[in-house]
Chains A and B, each alone.
Chain A
């Protein structure tokens, strides 16, 4: 008969070694993210909490606005299940170029480098993962987080002044602020909302959660603040909310208001983005981009004006 052995006593005599090297590999993964993003001066995330507020449209136009000011800009679309940045910038069908050193992102309008899940998908194909995702969403969450980690670790951005990351919708632990936490030396978050009370309600939760995660919320952009008539250019209210009150309560600056502009939206829908810097709505984005630059350089502003 086998002698009952006391496992605790046996383990006490042994030296543990991590043969599976899981911890070592995960540490290495995070180190690679840091190394890959070392050449980026300002890393920003654009988030909303609420879906459908025009977050991607805002991200793309802020990226274009910064590029128009002569900055080197990258745009990372990590909305894995609804990537739309390539289409908006007329880059559908392009792809990342895989090299032994990493993936080279294609270059879009005004020299913006773009990485998106869309570059891995066939037209009209949703994201489908191999494996038993049909039974447990827990694995899906893990998988998606690691795919996002690959986007951060494997894209060769080179030297950039700004990297804007378009986060998926979600208010709290269901991803966006957690993703933002992956990005080393994150400069801050731009929050997009509409004046709708429903959107404001969710957005305030995402701001609170982001702050809990130690993410600096730079400011808020109110999208669809008005409707700009394509015929006469007159602006009318779409919602009856109060973004200013929300910003006041959250102690977050309101960076600007963008009207719902059918003409502009159509050009992005068709993948032929309007780039005219004299166009009124684009000028609003230019102003917001200028404020973001001032916020990032706030120490210089304080030195000049305090």
Chain B
């Protein structure tokens, strides 16, 4: 945040920070040209925002102590339960003064929410959620053949149905994504198997697959990914026994 002296058309310089009251900061600025001075005073909410970043306004003059923020912001037992911001808002409301916009909105949110639902016929937060770019993947639990562009063969569907209910949606969406990526319209057992070992266009020869079995099973997924990465680096579309030899030689350097 910067301040500009409109008279002198220059940035004002940071001078110092004071603490005029508990939960409040006074930050002083001065114009290097005309000498004009002013202080920006923060309320407890604004102070908290700066403090939560763990930074010092104006930069540090001494090095941070270990756990400076943790120790400095843990509430003492005596202070437990005292709501600083709540007290601030209460004080403003009692005295009839306006409080910050966000707080006012929070205070009156329930009514706005109801009105908003009636007039906009939807959740009042939907616009915000859409703005955030949240995406909800389609609900694959709706049925094995829920996606109209793909057809599941009876045996593939049966295999899917045999899976525990909590993994079914994940497997279904992953197989369907694989099928779309590779242009399949029908999902059969082969597509299911291939999707499981989707190697992004890298094929394994039977001999290479066999050699992978020499690796303990819990390391195989990692080994597969690593060897596929090496293949891609070399521009190879097929993992052969020769490529496995090269990979082995490369790994020998880590012995």
Residues in A lying within 8 Å of B, measured CB to CB: 5, 7, 10-11, 13-14, 16-17, 19-22, 24-26, 29, 96, 98-103, 117, 120-122, 125, 127-136, 139, 142-143, 146-147, 149-151, 154-155, 197, 200-201, 204, 219, 241-242, 245-246, 248-255, 291, 294-295, 297-306
Please report the total number of B residues contacting A with Cβ < 8 Å. 75
Contacts of A201 on B, CB cut-off 8 Å?
166
Contacts beyond the supplied A134-B86, A136-B45, A204-B167: 19 A-B pairs with Cβ under 8 Å: A16-B11, A20-B14, A21-B55, A21-B59, A120-B67, A122-B77, A127-B74, A129-B75, A130-B73, A130-B84, A131-B52, A131-B84, A135-B103, A139-B49, A249-B171, A298-B226, A302-B215, A303-B252, A306-B214
**B26 CB-CB contact with A under 8 Å:** no
91-147 of chain B: CB within 8 A of chain A: 103, 106
- On whether the beta carbons of B73 and A129 are closer than 8 Å, the reply is yes
- On whether the beta carbons of A20 and B59 are closer than 8 Å, the reply is yes
- On whether the beta carbons of B23 and A132 are closer than 8 Å, the reply is yes
Contact with A along B152-188 (1 / 0, CB 8 A): 0000000000011111001100100000000000000
- On whether the beta carbons of A253 and B251 are closer than 8 Å, the reply is no
Partner of A20, one of B58, B68, B80, B221: B58
How far does the alpha carbon of A246 sit from the alpha carbon of B169 in the complex, in Å? 11
Partner of B85, one of A10, A132, A252, A302: A132
- On whether the beta carbons of A150 and B69 are closer than 8 Å, the reply is yes
How far does the alpha carbon of A297 sit from the alpha carbon of B251 in the complex, in Å? 10
**B247 CB-CB contact with A under 8 Å:** yes
Contacts of A5 on B, CB cut-off 8 Å?
6, 9
- On whether the beta carbons of A150 and B68 are closer than 8 Å, the reply is yes
Contact with A along B17-57 (1 / 0, CB 8 A): 00000010000000000000000000011011101111111
Given contacts A14-B10, A132-B23, contact A99 B89 (CB under 8 A): no
**B244 CB-CB contact with A under 8 Å:** yes
**Minimum CB–CB distance for A276 against chain B, Å:** 26
11 A-B residue pairings within 8 Å (CB atoms): A17-B11, A25-B59, A102-B66, A136-B85, A143-B73, A197-B164, A249-B167, A251-B221, A253-B218, A300-B254, A305-B214
With most chain B CB atoms within 10 A of its CB, the pick from A13, A19, A26, A303 is: A19
- On whether the beta carbons of A143 and B52 are closer than 8 Å, the reply is yes
